[in-house]
Amino acid sequence: MQRCSLKSITSLLILTFLGLLSIQYQVKFLGISDPPLEITKQISIKNESSYVRVPSGNFRNYSYIHSAFRVSDDTIRVTFIREHKKSTPVYYKYGNKRGLVYFQCALPSCLDFYSKPCSLIGQIGTIKAAFQEGVNFIEFSSSNDETNFETSIEVKDVRIKENHVYPHQLGVCVQPIYLHADYVLFVEFFEFWLSQGATKFYIYRESYTPEIQKILELYNMTSEADIEFIDWSLLPAAPEADTKSNPNSYVYRLEMMLSIFDCIHRARANVKFVAQTDLDELIYIKSGKTVLDFMKSFSQAEPYFASVSFQSQRIFFEKDSVDDIKNLFDVNFTKFEEVKLENFIFARPFYSKLIYRPERVFRVHSHQQFLPEKIPGNYRRYQNKLIDPKDGVVLHIRRSTDTFKWKEIIKSEILKPLAKQWTENFQARLSVFSESDFNENPWLNIGIQVVREVDKCRRRMMENKDKECHNVFVCEVELSKKFSDAFIHAKNSWVFV
């Protein structure tokens, strides 16, 4: 992606941003990929216009495929969603080689603990096929007939080469954002991680408001970071499918664990350290070092680490003024200068988060550490490590009702120096605009309202998780009735056999 300084893009940025304000039905990301990614705003949740090809008949008979990664000279890994315990084989064709795909669950337990009725689960397809020069796609079929290989995806080469140099030192994986409307949270997220040395962001997306689209464009154009957008849509379904016959009713929260696997593999060979956190979490290093400098020092002391785990501590604000924000010039970071800090650190794995060396892990999770990869040319494996909370913690910003009751609360100014830095950086970012650029089109500010509605739907589903799959699709249907045309939805990103 071409990069440019803030000063050199002033005129272009203003014109581009003002143009974005008038977009109503289709939004095209600029300067992100070739060809550019596109997302289309769908008035209806039904899959009427997005999907050129949809499955017919019983959705449980299909295997849904997203990405393929060449991890070594003889191995390709593929992200699948399939029916649990599905025995129907999937065949591949790579160049002049054909064979069976070997499947493993993305999680060691296969079914997610928090919603076992979700029978469509993430699976990792392993393919043993030697690298062939000039073969960039892999094909799939439900039979090994030469004429049946009609589904194909590109293979991303993520091999670590000899004398490898990483393009990026610190990156961040954002699990699929869905029904997201809190654009202020995105501003806080980007300003924090940019201040910590991050230069690569992987943004997985399913649905959000146009205001968040504008924030993503703003940071894509005004920062020196490389921001990659990955569509992680709902699974394709027949237009006539109702809730019971729609495959998305049986997928746990967009299969976010598989998306983390996808992201960590996507980052192989490209980013040395990859943080996997939520948008409302900060990794706070108590020495005052940036996250990047901390990880560099840690890596020198522990050269064979695969992942590090940070325990979590909650914070909240006396008054969160997001509801009062009408445009970007209202956004500030003064609320971070004094926060309410819970004098309690959660035991692992509750709320804990990880930073990975991508090529050293296989299965991944949002909170837990799993068995690492083997060290090349060695019978030993890389090692998972734990960060002492005296050195660093995850600060989890809570804006809505939480599962766990709060314990002792203390006032704290631990983020005050960072808050001042974020304010300066953000003001510099907006200095190329005038406030009138935003007043002509007041920003729809339904962020907190949507957060509360989504949280209400998720909590209801969580309470019934032993009987009904905790899925995103039902919440989308419900919210579409209240916020009919508020969301942009990713185009279909899955193929199937």
Give residue 444's pLDDT.
61
More confidently predicted of 56 and 376? 376
Query: Which run of H or of E encompasses 479?
Result: helix 472-482
Domain spans of the chain? 59-157, 168-439
Whether 59-157 and 168-439 share one fold: the answer is: no
Query: Taken in order 83, 88, 89, 91, is the CA torsion positive or negative?
Result: negative
Helix residue ranges per DSSP H, 92-209: 183-195
Across 26-49, average pLDDT: 30
Q: What is the pLDDT of residues 417-430, one digit of tens each?
A: 999 999 999 999 99
Residue carrying the six token digits 């296969």: 110
Of 157, 149, 168, 144, which is closest to residue 65 (Cα–Cα)? 149
What's the pTM? 0.88
Residue 38 has pLDDT above 60, yes or no: no
Res 45 pLDDT > 80: no
Better-scored residue on pLDDT, 18 or 476: 476
pLDDT above 50: residue 43? no
* Mean pLDDT computed over 312-335: 80
Q: For residue range 116-133, what is the model confidence (pLDDT) as tens digits?
A: 899 999 999 999 999 999
The two three-digit tokens of residue 188, written as one number: 């806080």
- Return the pLDDT at 32: 26
The hierarchical CATH code for the domain 168-439 is 3.90.550
Q: Are 359 and 373 in contact (CB under 8 A)?
A: yes
CB 462 within 8 A of CB 42: no
Residues 367-400 pLDDT 10s? 999 999 999 988 899 999 999 999 999 999 987 6
Q: In this predicted structure, what is the pLDDT of residue 447? A: 65
Question: 292-318, pLDDT tens digit by residue?
Answer: 999 999 999 999 999 999 999 999 986
- Average pLDDT on 311-328 reads 78
Q: For residue 442, what pLDDT band results from cuts at 50, 70 and 90?
A: low
Give the neighbor-by-neighbor strand order of the sheet with 312-316. 281-285, 392-397, 312-316, 339-342, 409-412
Q: Are 231 and 491 in contact (CB under 8 A)?
A: yes
The beta strand positions in 286-436, using DSSP E, are: 305-310, 312-316, 339-342, 353-356, 383-386, 392-397, 409-412
- When the pLDDT of each residue in the chain is averaged and rounded to a whole number, the result is 85
CA distance 68 to 66: 7
**In CATH, what class is 59-157?**
mainly beta
pLDDT exceeds cutoff 80 at 39: no
- Tokens, residue 290: 């940036």
pLDDT at 115 > cutoff 70:
yes
Residues 6+ away with beta carbon under 8 Å from 242: none
Helix count and strand count (H, E) for the chain: 9, 25
The pLDDT of residue 458 is above 70: yes
The yes-or-no verdict on residue 25 having pLDDT over 80 is: no
